[in-house]
Structure 1
């Protein structure tokens, strides 16, 4: 029953990551429930969900073609560098203070996503050099993603709205592509540190890949207004859950 539970959680996490993010909040509790120590569960969860980003990125590959190649390569470099720094910080620091920050970060991201268009307009009016702000903001988000993957999709979508992006297809494609690059770097760090529980990780990787592919296909069939509302509900729910846990 534990194995069935883990596979179902990984499939749903892959689909959720493709649509809005937050799949870690399914896989991490499932691994802990199955008896994996929390630190290893966190590392194994990161490995379990990252192939789902690959499946989702494949599903959104046509949307990624809408973005300028130079900007895309720069974003990939930022994601890889930030993910490496974040994963190294996880190995040398305690989760206590960051756990306290998680609900506040999720609340901030959900508010940014809900009012992202207005924020983007304000930023464009206030600054003539929004590019530098965008790169620094994305870099900090990727450090967060390398340190703790939970809620990364919500925060990335919120950031893309402040960048002035409007296409949900392009934003979801970028979200999953950058999350994939970031997670590969983090996973290699966790493998080097010996934190991965391999039998569970391999089964969940396969399930999350399938879930990510189908999640991307389902998301592209939804109108933008419905998808935006769904993402805001997910962000609000995760924020409430983490505040309650504190």
Structure 2
């Protein structure tokens, strides 16, 4: 890893941490940066998941009151199923070849960008059509957890939409549950992926430092931007990165 690579990864981690703290979408920055420094796609995805852990942890701590207010037995059951899905998704990533993952990545980025951009509408739609979905059912949580273990992009927005389908309406409680489940998933995913030898520790640690700094120091800068401008910038990056990875397939 050159000094230029280290600066790129730190900067990408900083911006990604800043975006995740304010609006989400940090994956659109961190994952491509790791790939562009020469890390294979599967390892880049694993390393980006590891680097994002401090942000999830700080978010869970910030919402600790909401997390502790949640029914304890229900929380443990949801966390358990989240961990199961995380192991399955991470296991699928371990057995994926770089060629296969390279083919899937543009579609995953495109889907995550679309979910980010229209997440509020998806959540509102889910809230209006929640009657046919079992509240807190494993049948809906497990597929989301498997997706999160395989590719972390847009996980928080998907979880919020799922909670709306379950009939939850308290946004603070929803955010608390989201941050806790995201941290639990990323911690287990990182452990599984580390066991599988997919994490490139040097680049991942540099990015983790940048991600942590961005989460704490960069948030005030991002909050000064109007929400619409920030969302448009993140969407532009997401669609741009999707197009770039589609181009790499040619």
- TM-score, length basis structure 1: 0.79
Cα distance change of structure 1 residues 21 and 77 upon mapping to structure 2, 3 Å threshold: farther
Cα distance change of structure 1 residues 159 and 239 upon mapping to structure 2, 3 Å threshold: farther
Among candidates 114, 120, 138, match of residue 113 of structure 1: 120
**1:101-145 Cα deviation digits (max 9, x unpaired):** 423465367546314234323222xx3x6226x432221111001
Match of 2:134 in 1: 130
Cα distance change of structure 1 residues 14 and 170 upon mapping to structure 2, 3 Å threshold: farther
1:206 matched to 2:209: yes
Gaps spanning 5+ residues in structure 1: where? none
1:176 matched to 2:179: yes
Deviation (angstroms), 1:20? 3.5
Deviation (angstroms), 1:7? 1.4
Deviation (angstroms), 1:39? 2.6
In structure 2, how many angstroms separate the alpha carbons of the residues matched to 1:175 and 1:230?
24
Out of 134-143 and 102-111, give the one that drifted further: 102-111
- TM-score, length basis structure 2: 0.78
**1:48-104 Cα deviation digits (max 9, x unpaired):** 112211122112222323322222212211211101000101122332564364234
CA-based RMSD: 3.2
Do 2:32 and 2:241's aligned partners in 1 also have CA atoms closer than 8 Å?
Answer: no
Cα distance change of structure 1 residues 105 and 205 upon mapping to structure 2, 3 Å threshold: closer
Gaps spanning 5+ residues in structure 2: where? none
Cα distance change of structure 1 residues 215 and 142 upon mapping to structure 2, 3 Å threshold: farther
In structure 1, how many angstroms separate the alpha carbons of the residues matched to 2:144 and 2:33?
25
Do 1:53 and 1:212's aligned partners in 2 also have CA atoms closer than 8 Å?
Answer: no
Work out the number of aligned pairs and report it.
237
In structure 1, how many angstroms separate the alpha carbons of the residues matched to 2:162 and 2:139?
11
Match of 1:142 in 2: 145
